[in-house]
């Protein structure tokens, strides 16, 4: 039977910890590495209008409206789950009904001008079927 001094025993504990760490890392890489091979559902949203609407010059205190049109070019119906504007000065309007393949739908954006100056606002559009948000923008200058 062999006796270990404190220095050797401490080194052995570290190697056991390292082995456990490597096992956990290997297991995680197997689990999460396999997710890279999962093929996401194929989807296609094509904006019929430009993805940026320019209001030009807007008078302070006025409300302006614009419409974005998109086409569902995927093989399945899609539904808008949520639309999130970047700030409270933009208000979205949409229908929560499914959009069949090769059909178009509209998203209305109402912009309430408050502060004078240039603005460039992003609006995120989320579909129930896709994890990634589509982005549309409104811009202009408040007088």
* pLDDT classification of 69: cutoffs 50, 70, 90: very high
* pLDDT classification of 48: cutoffs 50, 70, 90: confident
* DSSP secondary structure code for residue 113 in this structure: -
Rounded to an integer, what distance in angstroms lies between the CA atom of residue 11 and that of residue 33?
32
Rounded to an integer, what distance in angstroms lies between the CA atom of residue 56 and that of residue 65?
12
Provide the phi-psi class of 21: left if phi over 0, else alpha when psi is between -120 and 50, else beta: alpha
Each residue of 115-128: pLDDT tens digit?
899 999 999 999 98
Each residue of 98-114: pLDDT tens digit?
999 989 999 999 998 88
Planar angle of CA 16, 21, 25, nearest 5 degrees: 150
- pLDDT for position 39: 38
What's the predicted TM-score (pTM) here?
Answer: 0.67
């Amino acid at each position: 039977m062999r006796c270990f001094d404190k220095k050797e025993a401490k080194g052995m504990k570290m190697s056991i910890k390292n082995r456990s760490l490597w096992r956990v890392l290997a297991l995680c890489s197997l689990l999460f590495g396999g997710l890279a091979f999962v093929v996401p559902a194929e989807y296609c949203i094509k904006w019929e209008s430009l993805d940026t609407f320019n209001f030009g010059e807007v008078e302070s205190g006025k409300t302006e409206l614009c419409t974005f049109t998109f086409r569902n070019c995927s093989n399945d119906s899609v539904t808008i789950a949520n639309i999130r504007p970047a700030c409270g000065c933009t208000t979205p309007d949409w229908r929560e009904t499914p959009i069949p393949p090769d059909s178009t739908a509209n998203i209305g954006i109402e912009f309430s001008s408050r502060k004078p100056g240039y603005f460039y606002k992003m609006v995120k559009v989320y579909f129930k079927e896709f994890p990634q948000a589509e982005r549309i923008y409104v811009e202009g200058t408040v007088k």
